[in-house]
Amino acid sequence: MENQQRYIRQMILPGFGLTAQENLARARVLIVGMGALGCPALQYLVGAGVGQIGIVDPDLVSESNLHRQLLYGPADIGKSKVAIAAGAMQLQNPAIQISTYPIAIERQNALDLMEGYDLVIDATDNFQAKYLLNDATAVLDIPLIYGAVTRYQGQVSVFHFPDQDAISYSYRDLFPVKPVDTISGSCESLGVIGVLPGIIGCLQAAEAIKIITGIGKPLAGRLYTHDFLETSNYEIAIQKNHQIQTMTRDAFLLSDNHAMIDLDEIDVDEVSVETFLELKNKGDVFVLDVREREEYPPIDFSDAQIPMSELTQQIDSLPNKDICVICHQGIRSVYAAQQIQAKKSVKTYSLKGGITAYFNKTT
Amino acid sequence: MELLIFGSLTDIIGTNKQVLDNPVDTEMLKASLLKQYPSLGQVPYFLAINKTMVQGNHPLQEGDVVALMPAFSGG
């Protein structure tokens, strides 16, 4: 191996040595998501000498990324994340071969993208992608290093990799069915302090290094949750859910057509206030308010109010006509419309911008 | 028994820790929480008793620490 001096401080660690370093140099890691988890994970894997790294992200750098995605600066705004990240990392460690994929990972390309990689790091920020990565790595039987944050807490685990009892777990053992991405319960996004995904992304890099080199005890079978505010952690032993079927290549590729409808893929017609008023005045639509009962302001232009928290039980009580769903800001209503459309074959609309937009326009 | 609440569930329950009179089992615990906080019905979560995940119904004993863990999706 060239340039051993570069890695000397990790090679002298007990249990590490030349063999571990050579394993790193031979390793091929795919990082999906080049945001707040992906940036630190990439940096430490490049630093440690992981030979080949693929990075996947279709996004361009935006200003609100900069407080937590430290590979990017103001001059990079509007440029491809993977291109900037690869450029910076090439300077840090020219020996590393970095492949960039400025595309979104999808069911159709996931298996091809992952083929040839030894492990995958989940640095994505939505359930759709997380389940896709979980299922694809299950099909290919390669380890997945899962990471996620929500406000002041973050999580790490390792799936599809045997624990000390030789049992491998799947993200579906924790949550068999994909939650919906807009389920946050409010229309506001949650916020994040940069150092938290920084910590989680570093833990993901650490797990990757442990798996590649065979040192230590990876987080297989354990869900590790870090709390930023309390500087504490909580570890839960995962249990196998025996109702989960083994994911096969065919099932993975076909799962779009399966009985389990993927709500995110249901297209909802988001209408402006003007279009909404036209539809309503023609009497063509049933207007459904999905805000919780205590939400303000009360309105007099809906035909029914079924709070989001009760909607699934009450979808059958809705009339068989086109339905326009409204909420405070027009986010929950999209999700509600998707749920309705999945269960009833009626056309659904969502009022874009919600009741806020309605009152801005009409008063 | 002690209840630890994680992630987005703290928004619904309004705290990250609660001490409860012993519910008999996890099904009763879930039912009473759902009655008190109907929005819990919208958020998938699992239970862990004393740091081990449980599936199905499990009896609860005095001194048990029960964690409510929702799915995290941010990054």
pLDDT digits (tens, 9 = 90+) for B20-47: 987 899 999 999 999 999 999 888 999 9
Give the integer Cα–Cα distance in Å for A152 and A99.
Answer: 32
Determine whether the interchain pair A149/B39 forms a contact, defined as Cβ–Cβ distance below 8 Å: no
> Do A226 and A353 have their domain in common?
no
Fold of B2-70: Ubiquitin-like (UB roll) (3.10.20)
Taking 80 as the threshold, does the pLDDT of residue A188 lie above it?
no
Rounded to the nearest angstrom, the minimum Cα separation between B53 and chain A is 5
**Domain endpoint, select from A239, A257, A275:** A257
Range of the domain at A12: 4-257
Same domain, A209 and A332: no
> Rounded to whole angstroms, how far apart are CA atoms A262 and A245?
18
User: Do A8 and A121 share a structural domain?
Assistant: yes
Cβ contacts (< 8 Å) between B71 and chain A: which residues?
A: 127, 148, 174-175, 179
Helix residue ranges per DSSP H, B1-75: 9-13, 26-36
Check if B15 contacts A (Cβ < 8 Å).
Answer: no
Share of chain A above pLDDT 70, in %: 95
Residue A20, CA distances (Å) to A8, A96, A340 in order: 12, 16, 53
Instruction: Tell me the chain A residues in contact with residue B38 when contact means C-beta distances shorter than 8 Å.
Output: 307, 309-310
Q: CATH code at A317?
A: 3.40.250.10
Which residues sit opposite A122 in a β-bridge?
Answer: A32, A146
Global confidence as pTM: 0.77
Q: Provide the mean pLDDT of chain B.
A: 93
Report the alpha-carbon distance of residue A341 to residue B62 in Å, rounded. 45
Both A149 and A47 in one domain: the answer is: yes
Residues of A in contact with B72 (CB under 8 A): 148-150, 153-155
User: Is the domain of A63 the same as that of A204?
Assistant: yes
Is B5 in CB contact (< 8 Å) with chain A? no
Instruction: Check B71 against A174: CB less than 8 A apart.
Output: yes
The per-residue pLDDT for range A65-75, each reduced to its tens digit, is 999 999 999 99
pLDDT band at residue A184 under the 50/70/90 scheme: very low
* Omega within 30 of 0 (cis) for the link into A94: no
Predicted confidence (pLDDT) per residue in A292-306, tens digit: 877 788 898 999 999
- pLDDT tens digit sequence for A229-242: 999 999 999 999 98
- Report phi then psi at B37, rounded to 5: -130, 85
Interface predicted TM-score (ipTM): 0.96
From the list B8, B51, B55, the residue facing A184 with the nearest CB is: B8
Do A129 and A160 fall into the same domain?
yes
Q: Which of A257, A284, A313 is the last residue of a domain?
A: A257
CATH number assigned to the domain comprising residue A75: 3.40.50.720
- The domain total for chain A is 2
* Chain B residues with beta carbon closer than 8 angstroms to that of A239: 52-55
The SS3 of residue A352 is coil
Instruction: Give dist(CA A84, CA B36) in Å, integer.
Output: 49
A89 and A231 fall within a common domain: yes
Question: pLDDT tens digits, residue range A304-340?
Answer: 999 887 787 788 888 888 999 999 888 889 888 988 8
Angle at A269 between CA A132 and CA A253, to 5 degrees: 25
Instruction: Delimit the domains of chain B by residue range.
Output: 2-70
Q: What is the pLDDT of residue A311?
A: 85
CB contact under 8 A, B73 and A192: no
Q: Judge: A185–B42 Cβ closer than 8 Å, yes or no.
A: yes
Nearest CB to B51 within list A154, A236, A308: A236
On whether both A270 and A327 belong to a single domain, the answer is yes
The set of residues, in sequence order, having a beta carbon less than 8 Å from that of A357 and lying 6+ positions away, is A272, A273, A329, A330, A351
Beta bridge partners of A55: A31, A100
Q: For residue A193, what is the nearest residue in chain B, using CA coordinates? A: B75
Asked if A30 and A97 count as a contact pair (C-beta separation under 8 A), the reply is: no
Whether residue A330 sits in one domain with residue A210: no
Pair of tokens at residue A87: 């450029």
Region for A194 from its dihedrals, namely left if φ exceeds 0, alpha if ψ lies in -120 to 50, beta otherwise = alpha
A109 with A253, same domain?
Answer: yes
Is the same domain home to A132 and A236?
Answer: yes
Chain B residues whose CB is inside 8 A of the A148 CB are 71-75
Closest-CA residue of A relative to B7 is A150
- Tell me which of A37, A105, A132, A150 to substitute to probe the interface with B (most B C-beta atoms closer than 10 Å): A150
Residues A270 and A347 in one domain: yes
Question: Last residue of a domain, which of A257, A275, A300?
Answer: A257
Check pLDDT > 90 for residue A226: yes
